[in-house]
Structure formats: C-alpha cells, structure tokens
Copies of this chain bind each other. A is one copy, B any other.
Amino acid sequence: MSDLSDILLVVIGNTEIASIPGISVAGASPELTKFTPPADVEYIFYGKPLSIDAIPVTPEGHPTPAIITKASYELANFGILPVRGGSILPPQTPYIEITAKPGKDFRFQAAIEVSDIIQKGKMLGMQLEKMGLGELVIGESIPGGTTTAQAVLLALGYEARTSSASPKNPQKLKEEVVEAGLKRIGLEKLNSLNPWKIVSELGDPMLATVVAISLGFRKRVVLAGGTQMLAIAAILKALGENLSRFLIATTKYVVNDPSASFVETAEEIGVDFWSAELNFSRSSYKGLRDYEMGYVKEGVGAGGSVYLAAKGGISIDDIVRKVEELYSLLEERID
C-alpha cells in the first residue's frame, strides 16, 4: 500500500434534467437517480450505500464507476472528501457542504444561482491550498450532468457532443433538450452572456462548485471526469484562467467514445488530458466486461482515481483485479 498525501474531492449533485425520461442511466430509474450521488460516496467509504439499499446501477444493471474509484482508493490510500454540490440528499458520510440546492430544468428557468457557490467554493479551494497539497483532484457524480455540460459547451461556442453512461448515447434527445434551453434564453442574447451567467442559466450545481473550487485552489488541479470536465475547462478558460495548471484525467472509454467528441473538444479548448487504460475484457463478470462495450464509461472520479493510484505506483492490472474482487462482493451482479 502506498501513502500518497493526496486527496480526491467527489462533488455530488443533482439536476432536474436527469428526470427527463431517457436522459440519464445513472440509476436504475429516473426516480432513483436522486440516490445515486450519495450512494456512490457511501459505497466507497463503507462498502455499501446507506441512503439506499443497493449500489447505483444502470437500468441494465451495470455497476457505478465508483467501484473503480473504490479499488484505487483501497490500493493507493489517498484521502477522499465528498463535497455536496447540489445533491438532493446529503451523503451519510462526513462531507463538505457547498450547496444543498439541486439544479432546475433549464428548459423552463435558470438552472442555478451561482453567487453563494462561487463564494463558498473559492474559499474551500483557498483553504485546501493552504494544507500543502501539491495538486487537487476533483471528481463528480451528478446524473444528467453530461446534458448540462453539453448545453454549457454549446453556449460557450463549442460544437461538442458529450459522452453518456449508455452505449446508446441519447444524442438526439440531449440536443433537443439543450436547444430548448438555448431557445429560452434566445440565441441572439447568448453571445452577450458572461461565463458565470451561462453556468447559472444552463449548467448545474456540480459544474459551478468545481469551477469555484478550481479558482480558489491556485496550484495544479486535476479534473477527474469525462466530457463534463471539458465543460469545466471551457468555463475556466472563458473566465480567463490559464489552463496550463489543469489536467483532465479520465478513462479510455470516454476518450474512445465514437458518439462523443472528447479529443477534438479538449484540443479546441486547449486542455491536456490523461486516460486510464482500463481493460475489463477478461473479467469473469458480464457487468464489468460490458464496460468495454461502452457501458458506464466514467464517473465518481474513476479516471482520476486511477491517475492517483498510478502516482502511487499501482498498476492498471492491480486496479482491474481489485475491481473484480469488489464486484464479486456485490449482491447485485450481472454474472
């Protein structure tokens, strides 16, 4: 076991966007997505969720990527602090409170108020910087979050397609939802909005929280996630941040996703990325082998957790073996 002196923040949130049928598979049903963010961090800490009695799965039964984060965490011994960035439910763990307000459906109204999140998030980043961390790794869990990310990227001028936790990425539905949001604001007005106003209108509380923390923490920040972290990098760039202190750490499932545009958009924004070359193709379990088919892909800082573990000398094979072991302990498995 390595001792890293590192930390992964997992920012958990909810947005009403996840309730639109077909948008999110981060939960067995849209109603259950409200339990997914707290259950993810509870599972990592305690081996089982406490807010609900089963680990988050997709409707087909594929396990939350928190299983990868937990494997890395157990092997590499870095610290994890959950941050409540708009989750409906608080996790049954110690956590840092930034906001308890979930995001609203941006088709009909502004998604979030940002001023309180900016103040608290920046202050949190400042305090964490004082603790001597070399870099801060920040992951997320927010069902429906790729749709809000796509809306923000589009509003910032990027023709991005974001990934999905389903191999059948609902791009058409996402685009309709995003378009409805953009129409509400008015396309002519969109260009005059400053970046925080765009986040407020079309984003979600996780995006705002991660941006604010990243502004307060002035050293290196690793954005642990997929296309949602591209939206965060794009916001930071629009706010005038130099992106050279940022790295996106994600998984190969996001980078190689043919339904999304991760690499092109990362290059367009100008942010570096690192990809965890996980491989579950030899797993005994269909639930894990299906990751190779594009199920789940990323989330709960999975890619960033592998990045941290790699820093601690843990190999991908060690993590894959540990995930296999953790999966064998779950009651709800696709064998």
A residues near B (Cβ < 8 Å) are 3-7, 45, 77-81, 84, 90, 92-98, 120-121, 123-124, 127-133
Contacts and interface: CB of A to CB of B under 8 A. Distances in A.
A81 B4 contact: no
A182 B154 CA distance: 65
Given A96-B96, A120-B93, A81 B133 contact: no
B79 A128 contact: yes
A328 to B, nearest CB: 24
A79 B5 contact: no
B98 A96 contact: no
Contacts of A45: 123
Given A4-B130, A6-B131, A97-B97, 13 more contacts: A3-B130, A3-B132, A4-B132, A5-B130, A7-B130, A79-B127, A81-B96, A81-B127, A84-B97, A94-B123, A95-B96, A95-B97, A131-B133
7 contacts: A5-B130, A6-B131, A78-B130, A90-B97, A93-B123, A96-B96, A132-B133
A37 to B, nearest CB: 15
A96 B93 CA distance: 10
Contacts of A80: 127
Contact of A127 (B94, B120, B127, B130): B94
Contacts of A96: 81, 94-97
Contacts of A98: 94
Nearest to A77: B130
A102 B6 CA distance: 33
A121 B53 CA distance: 23
By CB atoms of chain B within 10 A, which of A5, A96, A98, A131 has the most?
A131
